[in-house]
Amino acid sequence: MDGAEIQSYVAKTRGANTHSSKASLFSKLVESLFGGEVDVALAPDVFPELEEHLIAEKGTLAVKKKEDTPEPNLIIEFRTTKLDPLRSGEIIERAKDQLRRFAYAIWRERQPELRCLLTASDGVHNFVYRPSLKGDLDSVDLEGVSPFTIDKKLREIIDLEEISRQDFSRGDPERVCKWLERIIFGRLSDG
């Protein structure tokens, strides 16, 4: 794994100002680091039910290891706004609301048994969540209600447990590579 590759990615991502450019840079990084072990695709190509919930169709990726499961292990929503936890709690909460919409749409279509991690990222700051259902999906009707009401209802039935975060601009690039490997390949207990 190449530390220079991570540093180059961080520099390019900081200059990217669209959802799709950040997603494209991340996709290239993952493919470069893990090659044929990982599939990276636009989320609506894997989960058509997400299409109406996406902020930017080309700014959300589904990532999966090729070997054992047909379903992705990771959905990443790229944000154009910086997700700095020290300065943007409200922005992170809005990103989490978006991730809850993804979980809701997927679970309504495919049942809550589908297990994957949800990530909010600005390309540099990454927040990984494990969604869980704490209420009844059928108890929520989202037809004809405002986005604020949708988010409020989904907060009541879908919990997002933060299981990891990583700032790609800080620390050792080798550590960033190891973190990506743990997240993508489901090895969260490996440090």
pLDDT tens sequence across 98-108: 899 888 888 88
36, part of any domain: yes
189, part of any domain: no
111, part of any domain: yes
Position 190 pLDDT exceeds 50: no
- How far apart (Å, rounded) are the C-alpha atoms in residues 21 and 30? 14
In tens, the pLDDT along 106-138 reads 888 776 666 789 999 999 999 999 999 888 888
191, part of any domain: no
Query: What is the average pLDDT score of the chain?
Result: 83
pTM to 2 decimals?
0.87
Position 55 pLDDT exceeds 70: no
156, part of any domain: yes
176, part of any domain: yes
Coil, strand or helix at 171: coil
Residues forming a β-bridge with 19: none
CA dihedral 108, 112, 113, 117 (to 10 degrees): 110
Q: How many domains is the chain built from?
A: 1
28, part of any domain: yes
Name the residue range of residue 51's domain: 3-184
69, part of any domain: yes
pLDDT at 38: 86
Within 8 A by CB and 6+ apart from 43, the residues are 50, 54, 60, 61, 62, 75, 102
Please classify residue 50 by burial: count the beta carbons closer than 10 Å to its beta carbon, then call 0-12 exposed, 13-18 middle and 19+ buried: buried
